[in-house]
């Protein structure tokens, strides 16, 4: 029965993780209230699940990876709500709530390894995993390109080129306005983030069918993938809260893009990150 409550908590954690981004990045009061209510309900059902899990196992200390992951997620959520209650620091939720969801999601799949009902279903999930991550790479690449063009256009405008005057900036008259380039760069960042998140969630499900199971997440390359996700969140938060534009925005976008390329290369050559026959 504890798995049922844990799955309810996972769904509520996922909803709270979605609500926290407009609440923090855009200051939406309605989303803030939804985030707190959904997260609070998730924590309540998670508490019930943890108690039932330990009572059913006839011990009061976690044993095994699944129990450790569930209790770790419970502690993460508990500390977040304590900090939020004392300091009203809901901005921490854009890191803590999604991380809690990722940690609790895997044990919610079951006590043993998750098995897909058929090879066709597994292949569909694999295609969705690859497509989501590729879309994220493309989006971040476009964001970086738009940021670089922003710098070029800014430099061109500062050169005070006069109409009809010969200049090596002349072939770049086709560049869009600065505001357009800025909106494109930011929109691509925001589009890429849910793609990265969905790709990691699906990858977590696919990993459970391998012979390594939960041990799959001890692979440094998988840890690097989640670290890349955390850096992506930081980029969105800093860019939005500090209003970064121009050169600094290019540096941040470029850093995340390079990290994502490094993670992709590491996963391609990894002996552990395989979703073929095990």
User: Are 185 and 150 spatial neighbours (Cβ–Cβ below 8 Å)?
Assistant: yes
Same domain, residue pair 149 and 229: yes
Average pLDDT for runs of 10 along the chain of length 278: 89 94 87 93 94 78 74 91 88 89 83 72 87 88 84 76 55 75 84 88 76 59 78 80 69 74 69 49
Same domain, residue pair 75 and 132: no
User: Are 232 and 256 spatial neighbours (Cβ–Cβ below 8 Å)?
Assistant: yes
Cβ-based neighbours of 85, under 8 Å, separated by 6 or more: none
Same domain, residue pair 95 and 163: no
Task: Name the region of 274 (left: φ>0; alpha: ψ -120 to 50; beta: rest).
Answer: beta
Same domain, residue pair 94 and 140: no
Q: Which segments of 28-92 does DSSP mark as H helices, in order? A: 29-57, 65-87
**Predicted pLDDT of residue 90:** 86
Distance of alpha carbon 68 from alpha carbon 50, whole angstroms:
10
Same domain, residue pair 106 and 132: no
Q: The domain containing residue 5 runs over which residues?
A: 1-112
C-alpha angle 187-191-192 in degrees, rounded to nearest 5:
120
Residue 26: CB atoms within 10 A of its CB come to 9
**Predicted pLDDT of residue 226:** 80
* CATH code of residue 172: 1.20.120
- Identify the CA nearest to 6 among candidates 88, 144, 86, 100: 100
Same domain, residue pair 260 and 129: yes
Same domain, residue pair 144 and 105: no
Q: Which segments of 92-213 does DSSP mark as H helices, in order? A: 93-108, 119-158, 178-207
Domain count, the chain: 2
User: Are 34 and 125 spatial neighbours (Cβ–Cβ below 8 Å)?
Assistant: no
Same domain, residue pair 159 and 21: no
**Predicted pLDDT of residue 15:** 95
Domain boundary among 82, 112, 142: 112
**Predicted pLDDT of residue 18:** 92
Same domain, residue pair 85 and 145: no
**Predicted pLDDT of residue 169:** 53
Same domain, residue pair 135 and 273: yes
Distance of alpha carbon 145 from alpha carbon 87, whole angstroms:
39
Exposure of 166 in the CB half-sphere (CA atoms within 13 A): 0
Same domain, residue pair 98 and 186: no
């Amino acid at each position: 029965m504890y798995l049922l409550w844990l799955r309810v908590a996972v769904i509520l954690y996922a909803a709270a993780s979605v609500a926290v981004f407009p609440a923090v990045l855009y200051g939406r009061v309605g989303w803030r209230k939804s985030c707190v209510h959904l997260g609070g309900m998730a924590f309540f059902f998670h508490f019930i699940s943890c108690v039932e899990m330990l009572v059913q196992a006839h011990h009061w200390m976690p044993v095994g990876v699944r129990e450790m992951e569930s209790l770790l997620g419970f502690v993460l959520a508990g500390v977040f709500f304590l900090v939020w209650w004392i300091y009203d620091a809901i901005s921490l939720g854009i890191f803590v709530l999604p991380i809690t969801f990722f940690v609790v999601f895997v044990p919610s799949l079951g006590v043993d390894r998750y098995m897909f009902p058929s090879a066709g279903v597994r292949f569909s999930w694999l295609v969705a995993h690859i497509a989501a991550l590729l879309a994220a790479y493309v989006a971040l690449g476009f964001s970086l390109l738009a940021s670089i063009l922003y710098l070029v256009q800014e430099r061109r405008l500062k050169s005070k080129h006069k109409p009809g005057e010969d200049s090596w900036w002349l072939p770049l008259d086709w560049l869009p306005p600065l505001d357009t380039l800025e909106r494109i760069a930011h929109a691509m960042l925001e589009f890429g983030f849910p793609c990265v998140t969905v790709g990691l969630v699906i990858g977590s499900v696919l990993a459970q069918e391998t012979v390594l199971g939960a041990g799959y997440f001890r692979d440094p390359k998988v840890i690097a993938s989640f670290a890349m996700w955390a850096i992506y969140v930081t980029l969105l938060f800093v860019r939005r809260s500090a209003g970064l534009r121009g050169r600094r925005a290019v540096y941040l976008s470029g850093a995340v893009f390079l990290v994502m390329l490094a993670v992709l290369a590491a996963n391609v050559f990894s002996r552990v990150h395989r979703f073929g026959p095990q």
